[in-house]
A = this chain, B = another copy of it.
Amino acid sequence: MKSSEERWLLDLRASARGDSRAYDLLRSLTDEVGPRFSGTPGEAAAVQWALEAMRRAGLANVRTEAAPTVLWSRGDERGGVAERVELLSPRRERLVATALGSSVGTVGGAVEAQVVEATSMEEIDRLGRARLEGKILYLHHVMPRLRDGTGYNAGGWARTAGASRAAKHGAVGFVIRSIATHSLRIAHTGILHYDGDAPKIPAAALSPPDGDLLHRLLADGGRVRLAMELGCRPLHAGESFNVLGEIPGTDLADQIVLFGAHLDSWDVGRGAVDDGAGCVMALEVARMIGALPKRPRRTLRIALFANEELGAGGGRAYAEAHAGEASRHYAAMEADQSDGAPWALRVPEHRRDSPASKRLAALLAPLHLELDPGPARGGVDVGPLHARGVPFVDLRQDATRYFDLQHSANDVLENVVREELDAATGAFATTVALLLHMDESLR
């Protein structure tokens, strides 16, 4: 790439700081549409919002593509018993808790049982049936606050797999300290997966201080009893839509740079950080690149995916629907870490020492983006393209604050910082623009 071209990249970055409409778009999405939970009218409204937003951003080929979704409800609609996790002994107190996504409800009344604590998945197995039969398992997993967000790896696994792990040993309920990094009375939901060979038991997350309370009360052999009453409705299949739009390329127009985010959100917040921020950055990156006097060489495709939170059906549907053009995907990237400052770039492992990667890194260095030694992994939505040979490029974002917010009621506009969102938008815009123009292949 020539140095005149490097100059417009700097202009692009500057415009993202000064003129970005990302925050206003996010306000529109979260105020006017609000929660966009899989299978709900909110998700359907978000699809209409996204179609309109893409057209306004000047994208071409704006369209929907069918994506399987699921319907599940925690049962907190008007009048119903919502979610109750209550300390029964050594004293009574209703705790701050929320059902894990796709949990079964408590049919025929509350589950009331003694609580046994484990601090790891391995300890659940060590406790075994002798200790867990008929009990509620409390998993005391304390997630560390790390810039790269990797505390979510073990944490997400504990939340996803813990209930079945306990149920195999006869537990009748599962509660986990929220997979989150704060100590507020806010509970964080997130999906769980039931194993086919274990009974499905009700599962909920406690706010961190409520988990810590159980931990203290259980210390030194304390006896604790809980009631769990969850109004969750069974999971069943539905349909939603991915929303796609493009900035057509020029001489390399048949090559696609895919930049995605997910349009659905959890029900408990308004999906501002997870992943409204990613959606509006994608929309704004496309608008900015479309408005440049210099047309992109490759085609930029924006995809706003359905059903990331409750099954990742949107990403799978895209990979299947576009299998025939997988080889035309020059690169795929996604944004799903809110307004976190991008601090590192990842490219495909075998391309890390290539001139292309070094060129990318050198051009992005003024944005304080270093070339990360790890391989690009994509994310939940573009992930299914890996098996089809699509190269990923990751912008790693600072996740220090992200796990204070995602999957919780605190996922609202007020917890996105306009200046941070603009800066992240500029980093994504610059990276995407480079990918649209680079000579070298990433394959």
Contact = CB atoms under 8 A, between A and B. Distances in A.
A204 B223 CA distance: 37
- Which of A32, A82, A90, A94 has most B Cβ within 10 Å? A94
A411 to B, nearest CB: 9
Contacts of A184: 184, 186, 410
8 contacts: A31-B213, A35-B93, A45-B91, A184-B184, A185-B408, A208-B414, A209-B415, A212-B414
Interface string A354-375: 0000000000000000000000
Interface in A367-387: none
Nearest to A84: B78
A217 B31 contact: yes
Interface string A318-337: 00000000000000000000
Interface string A202-213: 000001110011
Q: This chain: how many copies in the complex? A: 2
B269 A216 contact: no
Interface string A176-218: 0000000111100000000000000000000111001100110
Contact of A186 (B27, B186, B269, B270): B186
A76 interface: yes
Interface string A381-420: 0000000000000000000000000001110111100000
A252 interface: no
A31 B212 CA distance: 10
Contacts of A90: 32
A105 to B, nearest CB: 15
Contact of A183 (B32, B79, B229, B414): B414
Interface residues of A, number: 41
Nearest to A76: B94
Interface in A34-64: 34-35, 42, 45
A81 interface: yes
A443 B183 CA distance: 45
Interface in A1-56: 27, 31-35, 42, 45
Nearest to A216: B31
Given A79-B81, A96-B409, A184-B186, A91 B32 contact: yes
Given A34-B91, A185-B269, A185-B408, 15 more contacts: A31-B216, A31-B217, A32-B90, A33-B91, A42-B91, A78-B84, A79-B81, A93-B270, A184-B186, A185-B186, A185-B410, A186-B186, A208-B414, A209-B412, A209-B415
A438 to B, nearest CB: 41
A86 interface: yes
A183 B184 CA distance: 12
A186 B209 CA distance: 14
A27 B216 contact: yes
Contacts of A409: 96, 185, 207
Nearest to A27: B216
Interface string A59-94: 000000000000000001011011010100011011
A265 to B, nearest CB: 12
Contacts of A35: 93
Contacts of A216: 27, 31
Q: Give the most central of A45, A94, A183, A184: most B CB within 10 Å.
A: A184
A409 to B, nearest CB: 4
Nearest to A213: B31
Contacts of A81: 79
Contacts of A410: 184-185
Contacts of A84: 78
Contacts of A413: 209
List the 4 shortest-distance A-B pairs measured between CB atoms, nearest first: A185-B409, A183-B414, A209-B414, A209-B412
A99 to B, nearest CB: 15
A196 B96 CA distance: 36
Contacts of A93: 34-35, 270
A81 B76 CA distance: 11
Interface string A262-280: 0000000110000000000
